[in-house]
Amino acid sequence: MSAPPSFALHTYGCQMNVRDSDLLARRLRAAGLAEAASEDEADVVLVNSCSVREKAEEKALGKLGLLCAARRSRPGLVVGLTGCMANRLGPGVFGLVPGLSFSVGPRAAPAAIAGLVRDALAGARGRFVPDPAPGEAASEPPLPDGGVPAAPPVQSYVTILYGCNRRCSYCIVPSVRGREESRDPRAIVAEVRAETARGARDVCLLGQSVMRYGLSGFAWPENLPSPMGFTEPLPRLLELVAREVPEVLRLRFTSGHPAGVTDELVRAMREIPAVCPHLHLPMQSGSDRILRAMRRGYDAAGYLDAVRRLREGVPDIALTTDVIVGYPGETEEDFEATRRAMEAADFDNAFVFKYSPRPGTPSSLLEDDVPDAEKRRRDQVLLADQDARGQRCNDRWVGRVAEVIAEGPSLRNPARWSGRTGQNKIVVFDPAPGLRPGDLVRVRIASARPQTLYGDPLP
């Protein structure tokens, strides 16, 4: 009997793409395919792409080109595309990547992937399956299936909100992911329960603008009351998941927006034990002028007020952020305003991106007038600032005891293990005999680096 065809997935972009790839892998396993040890050994390679930044698209296109070129020596190789780039480029991707087997939108992929792969293995080429229009598909995909991989992750992702209505001037997400669509809380609970059955201890609820969960075209089910008295959909969902799935040790949500930092949300983060004291809250700029041009819906003072309320309401909260440098028209004064705002916010970590225009966005009509060299300089300045700030934040942990969910051997030193705290800080430590991924370990922090804590486990 011949072996079943095998597959490999290559994922770019955000946690939502990581979650989508996991779901697709389960779909392919359920269809009878086996997971390949590497791309070089796979019969099917699926590239899950990102369109948020130009560099991410360039990487995905380069990867697809290499894979399709490999078909000269591996003529039966199937190469497929999904993710945001599939929606943005549409059928035109087949002209950019000769030899591509198929392309499918991220919302359409879970239902279509098994059939697309089956047909491509039989020789079909050039098929494009777009995402359904809003309202044409159920707001949640079928629950994950396809069995448990050999090493299920300790952290898992569950999407609660598709699309985005914010329309920031630089962002392509509304065009490639569609309008907001909130999932039914009962379906979310069922999926979180399925994730814990697979071994997840740390579950992150996902949405492009997650704090808008339940705020657009959605009614909270009347038969799901809030014992804690919450009236807003996201706090009610956090309470519901924590109550119905007690196996979840930690519950997170991302990505945030300062407009969503309500008194109820702060209370939910403080009073629901499973909800982590950690929030990713993109700032993008500290200049009021640039924030207006970006259509972010707040000024620097408003953002910092949200930070203040979070820090006052949630003990030991860790805050991380995204920042864009080199937005059209950004002056040195605007850049320095961003530096000051980041210092005032005292971020635990920051992800800095050089602006690149995305097709069809309002900012793409503006002159991209900040030179690349200046973008790189500003990027490096902010990263150096953040290294110093991250060191200062992590030094506060030295001597303290942190509760860490063990994830497995450290990437840089397999003799040691790493895990994460509730604040999402990486901790490296020496494992005790019999330690397993998912175990909760108390670690006394002995030293710190800007991105990592090091310590000794306690009995």
Question: Is the peptide bond prior to 285 cis by the omega test (within 30 degrees of 0)?
Answer: no
Query: What is the predicted pLDDT for the residue at 146?
Result: 45
Which of helix, strand or coil describes residue 23? helix
Mean pLDDT of the chain: 93
Query: What is the predicted pLDDT for the residue at 1?
Result: 52
In this predicted structure, the answer to whether residue 165 has a pLDDT above a threshold of 80 is: yes
Token digits of residue 25: 């892998």
Domains in the chain, start-ordered, CATH in brackets?
Answer: 6-129 (3.40.50.12160), 155-393 (3.80.30.20), 401-457 (2.40.50.140)
List, for residues 193-217, the tens digit of each pLDDT value: 999 998 999 999 999 999 999 998 8
Q: How far apart are CA 307 and CA 95, in angstroms?
A: 47
List, for residues 399-452, the tens digit of each pLDDT value: 999 999 999 999 889 999 999 999 999 999 999 999 999 999 999 999 999 999
Long-range contacts of 369-376 (CB under 8 A, 24+ apart): 369/328, 369/329, 370/325, 370/326, 370/327, 370/328, 370/330, 374/326, 375/325, 375/326
Q: How confident is the model at residue 388 (pLDDT cuts 50, 70, 90)?
A: very high
Q: How far apart are CA 263 and CA 16, in angstroms?
A: 27
* Residue 167 region by backbone torsions, left for phi larger than 0, else alpha for psi between -120 and 50, else beta: left
In this predicted structure, the answer to whether residue 178 has a pLDDT above a threshold of 90 is: no
Beta bridge partners of 406: 419
List, for residues 42-66, the tens digit of each pLDDT value: 999 999 999 888 888 999 999 999 9
List, for residues 85-116, the tens digit of each pLDDT value: 999 999 999 999 999 999 999 989 999 999 99
In this predicted structure, the answer to whether residue 147 has a pLDDT above a threshold of 70 is: no
Query: What is the predicted pLDDT for the residue at 151?
Result: 55
Give the predicted TM-score (pTM) of the model: 0.90
Q: How far apart are CA 210 and CA 298, in angstroms?
A: 17
Contact (CB, 8 A) for 295 and 257: no
List, for residues 19-48, the tens digit of each pLDDT value: 999 999 999 999 999 999 999 999 999 999
- The mean pLDDT value for 157-176 works out to 92
- Give, in degrees to the nearest 5, the angle at Cα 420 between 415 and 421: 135
Q: How confident is the model at residue 338 (pLDDT cuts 50, 70, 90)?
A: very high
Amino acid at the residue 272: I
The percentage of the chain sitting over the pLDDT mark of 90, rounded to a whole number, equals 84
Least confident interval from 80-84, 130-134, 237-241:
130-134
Question: Alpha helices, DSSP H only, in 199-284?
Answer: 233-244, 263-271
- The mean pLDDT value for 143-153 works out to 53
Amino acid at the residue 349: N
